[in-house]
Amino acid sequence: MINLETPRKFRAFVNQAHQVAAEMLRPNSRRYDLAEHEYPIELDMLAAMVDGLGASGNGSGAGASGVRRTAAADAGVVNGSNLSSVLSIMEMCWGDVGLLLSMPRQGLGNSAIASVASDEQLRRFDGLWAAMAITEPECGSDSANIRTTARLDGDAYVLNGEKIFVTAGARCDAVVVWATLDKTLGRAAIKSFVVLKDTPGLTVERLEHKLGIRASDTATIHLENCRVPRENLLGSPEINTDAGFAGVMQTFDNTRPLVAAMAVGCARAALELTRDLLSEAGLEIDYDRPLHHQPAAAATYQTLEADWEAAYLLTLQAAWLADNGHPNSLQASIAKAKAGRTANTITLTCIELTSSLGYSEHHLLEKWSRDTKILDIFEGTQQIQQLIVARRLLGLSSAELK
């Protein structure tokens, strides 16, 4: 059974993550929001520290762990890398979401590699900073409609296509690219490939200007006759029409709880600051009185806290299931849907509660409201998550429920 307390073995690591967020990320948050596309040099030292913790076995990074179903049914309760990652990410995003997404060697592509790579590939790609390239100009939420192609030619696959909204696409060492081996076979032919940035034919076309997470670079990448060694394909090269593209989709079982954790951390920051500002204005939150007997602002604040608690617990559940070898696709989508939308609602409502203080750049509330919007969109939009949840609960396929 899941225990709602932070596991003892993670407490020092989580406390350390909070200290980093308070002393390094939060103080630099506004600077790199204003200096969009400028690389946060402070992260180099932080990344080195995270690498050291991982090598010593005392940490799991900031999200680069993967869902690997190795827990035995009789192994007892496991508190592993997935739970450790979401707990540390919550603390780091209490500091700044964009800076967390800019952490070297902690990209979403690293999660993909950690989830589905073979043992040999894990050793070969160790130390790489990997971005994830899924979205295309003609393919957003419907990832099964990918048009980037991969054609086997001797000992290499030849990739052609364009990817947009690639987080850390300019700064990374490699990109995990989703491409199809055969467009006529639909989802089943989609595979993921690790493409090194210095591979001929791969070019970074441009960087996007964004509403939020400005500290993180978001790139458009073009692939033209890009030859990738066949051993850089993640998972099986065989096209299994019965299994669909479950192999590449397994990545989302890991990354969606991580995005949910980002949302939970940022929303907590907004709630804490809002409570302080309300207290300074003379409004105290009273948990011993019914909501209808309290000022509207106090009642609204407690409603936001309740929503936050639900998102927090759902995120822990999704990570805990992965650590214990249980399927978590449904719970990952539920957590991501709840946390993403809740964080956006919380940050915007906190601005309303704090009026001009929240709307101005005097505090970070307005920034957090911009940052959380993407957390309701990437790794699958709110609507896509609800569709996945409905399919799972009703036992329907994607063809039966669109």
DSSP assignment of 11-68? HHHHHHHHHHIIIIIHHHHHHHHHSTT---THHHHHHHHHHHHHHHTS--TTS-----
Of residues 89 and 5, more confidence is placed in 89
Contact 363, 304 (CB under 8 A): no
- pLDDT for the residue 320: 92
Confidence of residue 95 (pLDDT cuts 50, 70, 90): very high
Q: Which helix (H) or strand (E) covers residue 267, if one does? A: helix 246-280
pLDDT of 244 higher than 60: no
Enumerate the H helices of 324-402 as residue ranges.
329-354, 356-359, 365-375, 382-394
Confidence of residue 245 (pLDDT cuts 50, 70, 90): low
Confidence of residue 328 (pLDDT cuts 50, 70, 90): very high
Both structure tokens of 259: 């995005």
Domain boundaries, the chain: 8-123, 130-234, 246-394
Q: Among 55-64, 193-202, 297-306, which is the least confidently predicted range?
A: 55-64
State the architecture of 130-234 in CATH terms.
Answer: Beta Barrel (2.40)
* For residues 251-280, average pLDDT: 94
- pLDDT for the residue 71: 46
Say which CATH superfamily domain 246-394 falls into: Butyryl-CoA Dehydrogenase, subunit A, domain 3 (1.20.140.10)
Amino acid at the residue 346: I
- pLDDT for the residue 50: 74
Give, in order, the Cα–Cα distances in Å from 42 to each of 29, 36, 46, 71, 85. Answer: 11, 15, 7, 37, 21
Confidence of residue 274 (pLDDT cuts 50, 70, 90): very high
pLDDT of 243 higher than 90: no
Q: What's the chain's length in residues?
A: 402
pLDDT of 228 higher than 70: yes
* For residues 262-274, average pLDDT: 98
Mean per-residue pLDDT over the chain, rounded: 90
Q: Among 108-117, 123-132, 308-317, which is the least confidently predicted range?
A: 108-117
- pLDDT for the residue 242: 63
- pLDDT for the residue 75: 60
Give, in order, the Cα–Cα distances in Å from 240 to each of 184, 189, 235, 257. Answer: 13, 8, 12, 27
* For residues 368-379, average pLDDT: 96
What does the alpha-carbon distance between residue 103 and residue 112 come to, in Å, rounded to a whole number? 16
Q: Taking the domain 8-123, which CATH number applies?
A: 1.10.540
pLDDT of 239 higher than 80: yes
- pLDDT for the residue 1: 52
Amino acid at the residue 201: G
Both structure tokens of 146: 């990918």
What does the alpha-carbon distance between residue 381 and residue 143 come to, in Å, rounded to a whole number? 12
Segment 184-216, tens digit of pLDDT? 888 889 999 999 999 999 999 999 999 999 999
Residue from 91, 136, 366, 379 carrying the catalytic annotation: 379
Q: Among 54-68, 147-161, 352-366, which is the least confidently predicted range?
A: 54-68
pLDDT of 282 higher than 90: yes
Segment 158-192, tens digit of pLDDT? 999 999 999 999 999 999 999 999 988 888 899 99
- pTM of the predicted model, to two decimals? 0.93
pLDDT of 29 higher than 60: yes
* For residues 2-17, average pLDDT: 86
- pLDDT for the residue 73: 46
Q: Give catalytic status of residue 5 as yes or no.
A: no
Q: Which helix (H) or strand (E) covers residue 300, if one does? A: helix 296-323
Of residues 255 and 156, more confidence is placed in 156
Integer distance in angstroms from the first to the last C-alpha of the chain? 35
- pLDDT for the residue 141: 77
| Beta bridge mates, 328 | none
* For residues 225-254, average pLDDT: 80
Residue carrying the six token digits 């086997």:
152
Residue 136: phi and psi, rounded to 5, are -130, 165
